[in-house]
Structure formats: C-alpha cells, structure tokens
Structure 1
Amino acid sequence: MSAFVGGGDNPAFTLTNDGFWPNIDGDDLRAAQRIGADVSNMRLETAAVAAIISINRELRPLKMRHLAAGHDTLQAVPADQVNGTSELVHTYLRAIYCTTSAEVAERYRNYDTTNSGTAKAEEENTSADDYRRDARFAIRDLLGISRTTVELL
C-alpha cells in the first residue's frame, strides 16, 4: 500500500474503462497525485468517473481513428515505450489523473474565513488550475496539436 494512502479506510479499487482506454487503478491515482486518505474512495471514484467521461468524450474522434486503423487498445497503437508502457497510455493517465485532482482540489477547499484559510483556499485554487492546465497539455499531446493557441486580434 502507498505511503499516501491511509490504513484500511480506503481499500483498493479499479475503475473499468471502455476497453480501448486503460482502466484506472485507484491506488495508482492516489499515489501519483498524492491524494490522502481524507478523500474517501466514493469521492475519489466520483471525481475519476467524471474525468473519464469528459476526457473520453473529448478524445472519441482519436479513438475512432485508432480503431479504424486496427488498434483495439491505446496500448496497441504504435508509440514509443516508457518503462514498458506506451507513452500514449502514460499521457492518457496524466489527463485523467490531473482532471480528477482538479475536482478533488476544488471540493476540498478550506472555506475558513481567516487570513490563513483564505490563503490556503487561494493556494488550492491555483493547484486546481495547475491540474487543469496539465490535463489540457496531456489532451493536446494525445491529439498531436500544439499546446499554445495564438490568435491575431
């Protein structure tokens, strides 16, 4: 069990994805994003399911292209490997993990009205924004498009 996960309060869980995209291991999500035992499995699962639905919808055209090319899973799509896993899988998991973490960070803000509580809430809000940015970067990387959008005014 991870050092970031409390004792028996949060037993291991896996969220089954659609077969093309990889499943999400709750313990890996907790450890990678340093989500403590104060966030229950029920709340973590709810945030992760919302992330999966959102990211999978956004990436549906990419999935359809890969399926049409004969690749039944994201892991089967030709790509460089990192630690024995497709870089595409790592990037997809990053999108899911960061989107989940953004929701968790927002839901667990400290609403204390003292100066320290306000500073902590602002710090966590920045963290949620950082998670969203990292998720956007991962999605854009999967889609093979630039991370920067520039418009002429």
Structure 2
Amino acid sequence: MFSGKPIDYQDEPLTNDGFWPDLNLADFQRSRSIPADVDAETVGEALLAAVAEVNGQLATVQDKYKAAGYAGAIDVPGARMGGSNQLTAQYKKAVYARAKADLMGEFATVGRRESHPGQEGDDTRKGLLAEAATVIRQMNGLRRATVRQV
C-alpha cells in the first residue's frame, strides 16, 4: 500500500572498467522496481555480478570500439538522449535485466509474495535473462536468433 513516503534507495556508485558506464545502485533499484525491502548488499552483489558477466560477453565489442579510437562507450556515435547514447542504454538494459533475474529468488522469500506478487515467478526470470541475451546479441552485431546447419 502506498504510504506517501518516498522510497529510500541506496545511492551507491558502481565504478566500472573505464569503457562501460559507471552505474548506481539507486538507479538500478528505481528503474527495475527492485523492492526497497530487499537487502541493499544483496542487490549490490547482484549488480556487480551482472556487470562482470555482461562485460565478459562484450569484451570483443569493447575491443572493437577501442581499436576504432573510442575511449568509452559514451563516445561511440549513435542516437543520444540525456546523458546516454544508444550503446550505454543497451549496456544498462542488459546489466539491469541480468541483475534483476539474479534477484528473483529474493522476491520469493517469506513475506515478500504478498507485498510483491508476481515478481518471484520463473517465467519472469527467464524473460529477464532473454531480454539481456537479446540486447547482448545486438551489441555483438548478431541477430535475435542464429540458425546453423548441422
């Protein structure tokens, strides 16, 4: 139930590798509707783990852009809005979806099903992982699906 009080998210910066954008725990919590009652340390660890996984999957993308002379993802030409460009927006989408998928088990713990219905489902988790995978494939220059002949 809405109490009228603002939600107190953890304003904790995540310093990235210098190429990919730095992130913020509060931005993740807000943008992906992470319940404020989920332990901030647990949320932070999920975000760090997602960054490590996504950075690993995008290593060749990063190498390609660095070889082309771009110091950071924000420097790559493309559509822009606010302080982001399409590459940094895709990156955040992939990381945030992966991190939320990792947190799905936290929503299913005692007492949370009533306050956050539907957020603990396996279908939701699979959908978030598919969202992250699709964005990562796009960033790697691949289509949504690849068909190989065996």
Fold match (TM-score > 0.5): yes
Counterpart residue type for residue 79 of structure 2: D
Unpaired stretches in structure 2, ≥5 consecutive residues? none
Distance in 1 (CA, whole Å) between partners of 2:142 and 2:12 is: 33
Q: Residue in 2 aligned with 1:24?
A: 23
Q: Report Cα offsets for 1:51-91 as digits up to 9, x if no partner.
A: 00000011111101111111000010111223452111100
Distance in 2 (CA, whole Å) between partners of 1:131 and 1:107 is: 15
Q: Give the counterpart of 1:144 among 136, 141, 145.
A: 141
Q: Residue in 2 aligned with 1:40?
A: 39
**Does residue 109 of the first structure (1) align with residue 122 of the second (2)?**
no
Distance in 1 (CA, whole Å) between partners of 2:105 and 2:52 is: 18
Give secondary structure in 1 for the equivalent of 2:19: coil
Is the Cα–Cα contact under 8 Å of residues 13 and 25 in structure 2 kept in the other structure?
Answer: yes
How far apart are residue 123 of structure 1 and its match? 5.7
Q: Percent identity?
A: 26
If the length of structure 1 is used for normalisation, what is the TM-score? 0.82
Q: Aligned-residue CA RMSD in angstroms?
A: 2.6
Give secondary structure in 1 for the equivalent of 2:121: helix
Correspondence list, 1:2-151, <5 A: 6-7=7-8, 10-110=9-109, 124-151=121-148
Distance in 2 (CA, whole Å) between partners of 1:48 and 1:41 is: 10
Unpaired stretches in structure 1, ≥5 consecutive residues? none
